[in-house]
């Protein structure tokens, strides 16, 4: 049980490192409906995958921005991960390069949707 506890804490630390301290409010909101999905989210992607040594955090966030752009529908998650990418060292220009490249693999509608979301994030961060 102690191991489980530390797994959760390790994931939460990683989420804070990527998304900043606001992530705890978002997790609390999710937990109010589905505490198990909230726990799995912390423990599998963030404790298990994002703490692995094989790729640095900036590269991981860039890959996730690519993945969410390709999927197209999860603009709320894309918004969080564009913020996350900027937090861990991506430049705005790098985010836009990823999105532009995804036009090749998932088409222009995917890229256009992602740029709107990026614009919303960039607008906040320069405000």
DSSP letters of 35-91? HHHHHHHIIIIIIIITT-TTS-HHHHHHHHHHHHHHH-S-HHHHHHHHHHHHHTT--
Judged by CB under 8 A, does residue 88 bind its own copies? no
Residue 93 interacts with its own copies (CB under 8 A): yes or no: yes
The answer to the question of residue 97 lying near its own copies (CB under 8 A) is yes
Choose which of 20, 22, 89, 108 interacts with its own copies (CB under 8 A). 108
Site for its own copies in 8-27 (CB under 8 A): none
Q: Which of 21, 25, 104, 126 binds its own copies (CB under 8 A)?
A: 104
125 binds its own copies (CB under 8 A): no
H/E stretch holding 103: helix 92-106
């Amino acid at each position: 049980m102690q191991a489980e506890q530390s797994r959760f804490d390790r994931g939460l630390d990683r989420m804070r490192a990527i998304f900043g301290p606001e992530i705890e409010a978002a997790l609390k909101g999710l937990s109010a409906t589905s505490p198990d999905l909230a726990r799995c989210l912390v423990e599998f992607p963030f404790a298990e995958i994002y703490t692995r040594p094989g790729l640095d955090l900036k590269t991981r966030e860039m890959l996730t921005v690519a993945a969410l752009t390709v999927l197209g529908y999860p603009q709320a998650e894309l918004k969080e991960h564009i913020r996350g990418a900027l937090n861990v060292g991506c430049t705005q220009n790098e985010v836009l390069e990823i999105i532009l490249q995804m036009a090749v693999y998932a088409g222009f509608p995917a890229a256009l949707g992602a740029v709107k979301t990026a614009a919303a994030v960039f607008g906040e961060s320069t405000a």
